[in-house]
Structure 1
Amino acid sequence: MTLVVFAGPSAGRLWTDWAARDDVDMRLPAVRGDVASLVNSDQPGTLVLADGAFDRSYAVGHRELLEAASLGWRIIGVSSLGAIRATDLPGTGVRGVGQAYGYLVNTKAPDDHLALIYEPEPPFRIFAEALFDVRQCLRDRALPAETGAIDAFLEDAARWWFGDRTRDQLQDRLETYVSADRAAQLLAPLASPLYNRAKQLDLIDLMKELLAR
């Protein structure tokens, strides 16, 4: 059965590895019309929607996903735009999975907490971070005594335009809540090309599950 994955920064350096497999059809982040084109040309299979682009076209529409589900496609939303659309379409056959999806469902956070700016081709280098990934990174690394400062910083950053959440700007602002050295330590993983952000882990876990079958 066909496994089609629309992904970009949520796949990162693994995009090319998955694309090399015969049992995976890796595609770039989806835009409006991509899902409709797929379901009109392929037999039903599994469609994983992780990432989408909205700067060069409209985002993937709800109607496209509903039409795909009605035609027998198994649709899984994860990580970024996929998690957003799954949150938008409960009970419709669009299944949401992962931490990012759970975060949206449980907190009712705005969609821009998952938004980021990235290079459009593999390995999809990230230029402005998703607030959700920053939140998970800091909470995983913060000491108990730093919890209040981290929460205040995250509330502050939540008010920014998502494109302003670059690592440099995040670190500069975090230094007003903790020491400069500590701010650098807390955010250091985001500078490593080997670091898997929370949204990336969502897709990695899903792909392990799907490819093990």
Structure 2
Amino acid sequence: MIIVYLGPSLPVEKARQILEADYRPPISREDLKKALKDRAKIIGIIDGVFYNKTAVAHKEIIEVMKKGVIVVGGSSMGALRASELDTFGMIGAGRIYECYKSGRICADDEVAVTFNPVTGEQMSEPLVNIRYQLKAAQDSGIITAEERDSLLKTCTGMFYPDRKYPEILKRATEKGIISTERSDRLGDFIRDNPLNLKAEDAIRTLEKIKEIIERSKK
């Protein structure tokens, strides 16, 4: 059995088009015990809880791997835990995992978001996506490198549930980081060219699991 813990990073409907699996809500402490009881052979960790419930522990993942279960992580909580546990055998996938592993990013709140517990809809923007989006805006000439750095500094100082583009742009104009005109232009760019690194890495994680399954058949 393949079990994947998935939440706001990618719609389950889209995930099923890539990999057929038992998709479960974002992982929290003790969830892996049930996965073992359900005889999981491969576990994919994409999304997980951070603050409202107790996060999945490193020891839990290590114990599961000791029992012969393959654990693959990427995108969100999975990327964070994979960067910490790949030396123990957890498999990491995607650019966010690589950023954590290299030390380019360190904080848990780089991937933290708020989401609707009923619909799973994402309600705030993760800092990794904001970095990705602002770099694209810089590359397109919408903002300068200095403005990007100042915007990121503002975002880093915000509580993660408040990281929403309208609020970010509002604070940036109030602080004089960018003009109202440039703020409007940046808002239009974000709306017309939405980027989602967590979604891209969630897909990479599912593809990695699929590769593992295909290799095991040979």
- Partners of 1:53 and 1:188 lie apart in 2 by 32
Q: Which runs of 5+ in 2 are unaligned?
A: none
CA distance 1:187–1:47, shift in 2 (3 Å)? farther
Checking the alignment, whether the CA contact within 8 Å between 1:8 and 1:120 is kept in structure 2 is: no
SS of the equivalent of 2:28 reads: coil
1:74-93 residue pairs with structure 2 within 5 A?
A: 74-93=70-89
After TM superposition, give the deviation of residue 182 of structure 1 in Å.
Answer: 3.0
Percent identity at matched positions?
24
Note the C-alpha offset of 1:187: 4.2
For residue 202 of structure 2, what is the amino acid of its counterpart? L
CA distance in 2, matches of 1:189, 1:68: 44
Deviations 1:76-117 (CA, angstroms, capped at 9, x unpaired): 111111111112223011122211112222224211111111
Q: Shift of residue 70 of structure 1?
A: 0.6
| Post-superposition offset of 1:41 | 2.6
Are the aligned partners of 2:115 and 2:122 in contact in 1 as well (CA < 8 Å)? yes
Pairwise CA RMSD: 2.6
- Asked if structure 2 preserves the Cα contact closer than 8 Å seen for 1:8 and 1:121, the reply is no
SS of equivalent residue, structure 2 residue 86: coil
Structure 1 residues 22, 136: CA separation in 2 closer, same or farther (over 3 Å shift)? closer
Describe the SS at the equivalent of 1:141.
Answer: helix
The 5-angstrom pairing of residues 167-186 of structure 1 reads 167-175=165-173, 176-186=176-186
Pairing 1:97-112 to 2, within 5 Å after superposition: 97-106=93-102, 107-112=104-109
1:54 Cα shift?
Answer: 3.6
In the aligned structure 2, how far is the partner of 1:196 from the partner of 1:148? 21
**C-alpha deviation, 1:26, in angstroms:** 0.8
Following the alignment from structure 1 to structure 2, what is the Cα–Cα distance between the partners of residues 207 and 188?
A: 32
Alignment: residue pair count: 207
Aligned-partner Cα distance in 2 for 1:184–1:98: 32
Structure 1 residue 190, shift from structure 2 partner: 5.7
Q: Tell me by how many angstroms 1:189 deviates.
A: 6.5
Deviates more, 1:90-99 or 1:54-63: 54-63
The answer for the alignment partner of 1:160 in structure 2 is 158
Cα deviation, residue 126, structure 1: 2.0
Contact 1:171 1:187 in 2 (8 A): yes
Q: Structure 1 residue runs of 4+, over 6 Å off? A: none
Distance 1:144 1:119 in 2: 32
TM (norm. structure 1) is 0.85
Match of 1:68 among 64, 67, 70: 64
1:96 corresponds to: 92
Give the aligned residue type for 1:110: A
Distance 2:106 2:74 in 1: 16
The residue that corresponds to 2:43 in the other structure is 47
Deviation track 1:157-182 (CA, whole Å, cap 9, x = no partner) reads: 21222122122211112333223343
TM superposition score normalised by structure 2: 0.83
Distance in 1, matches of 2:156 and 2:194, equals 23
The separation in 1 between residues aligned to 2:26 and 2:188, in whole angstroms, is 27
